[in-house]
Structure formats: C-alpha cells, structure tokens
Amino acid sequence: MALRGLKKSMPQLMRTYRNQFPGLTIEMVERFDNTFNCIAFTIGEEKRWVWNEIDLNYDGTSSFSEFVTFYQKHGFEPTNSEADADVAIFGFNVKGHIDVKHGARRETGSDFWLSKMGQGGIIRHDDLYAFDGSPYGSLLLMFRKV
C-alpha cells in the first residue's frame, strides 16, 4: 500500500521540481525518502532530520554563523573555491539577514552535485547555480572537508 502511494506521489513531486526549480535539470538518483533532509544529507546523515542542532542559541532560527559552526563541527571549513567545495548551502540574503533554505553535496569522484529535495528523493545537478530564482534562493557559502 505504501509503495502504491509513493508511486502516485512521484509524478507530482517531479512536476513540483520542474515548476519551482526552472533552472534545474533533474536526474533522480535515489528514491523518495522522508527520513532525512538536505542538511543531514550534506554531512552524510540519512537516518534523521537535521535543523534543531544548528540553532545553537535556541532562538528558533539558524543564523549564518550557526551554519558555519555546525559544518565546522562536522569536519568542514568554508571555502571560496568551487573546485575544492564538498558542500554548498543556498538561501536568501535580505538586507544582511541570511536565511538558509537548502544544502547540497558534491558527488564523490565527480563534478556533479547531489541534493536531497525536501521529503522527496535525491537528484543530481551539474552546477551550484541551478537553484537561482527558486524557493531555495542562491548559493550562499561553500565548505570543504578537512
């Protein structure tokens, strides 16, 4: 029964991806799974959602500096070099207020990027600018594994 519901939801999610992410060339590489989110996926965690542990001051939001601290805790450091980057975060910068919406990680041994799309599946995309103009915003910061 659950599989039947999953099959019905896949076309709807694909339509959502195409409508909300017009610059994104979609190649689905893993099944739909709501066990973990995009930020968890960037650190290799596929058994739980990760958001609350980023909010270090428990104010209900996760600031830009809290994301930097979170990734440093997981063995990453900021980088300005896309060629060296292993993780990228996306969102909006409105008058100095940073609102992170998404994270992606580089596919091992590849120039492609992988993104966990909400409760949906994992997609492969070829650049970090595919989300520009979408609900995920644009590239904010990249990290490399140390």
pLDDT above 60: residue 3: no
Q: Mean pLDDT throughout 55-79? A: 89
- Greater pLDDT, 21 or 44: 44
pTM of the model: 0.82
pLDDT above 60: residue 1: no
Nearest to 38 by CA among 21, 50, 26, 28: 50
Nearest to 39 by CA among 66, 15, 9: 66
The owner of tokens 């909400």 is 118
Q: Confidence class of residue 143 from pLDDT cuts 50, 70 and 90?
A: very high
24-49 tens-digit pLDDT: 666 677 777 788 999 999 999 999 98
DSSP secondary structure string for all residues of 104-126:
EEEPTTSS-EEEE-TTS-EEEES
Q: Confidence class of residue 71 from pLDDT cuts 50, 70 and 90?
A: very high
Nearest to 73 by CA among 47, 91, 51, 53: 53
**Least confidently predicted of 4-8, 67-71, 80-84, 115-119:** 4-8
pLDDT above 70: residue 103: yes
Q: Are the C-beta atoms of 112 and 124 separated by less than 8 Å?
A: yes
**Hey, what are 114's tokens?**
């992988």
DSSP β-bridge partners for residue 88 = 104, 142
104-138 tens-digit pLDDT: 999 999 999 999 987 788 888 888 888 888 888 99
Mean pLDDT rounded to a whole number for the chain: 84
**Hey, what are 32's tokens?**
């739909």
Number of domains in the chain: 1
pLDDT above 50: residue 2: no
Cα–Cα dist 32/9, whole Å: 9
Q: Are the C-beta atoms of 72 and 84 separated by less than 8 Å?
A: no
Q: Mean pLDDT throughout 69-98? A: 93
Structural domain of residue 80, as residue ranges?
2-145
SS3 state at 95: coil
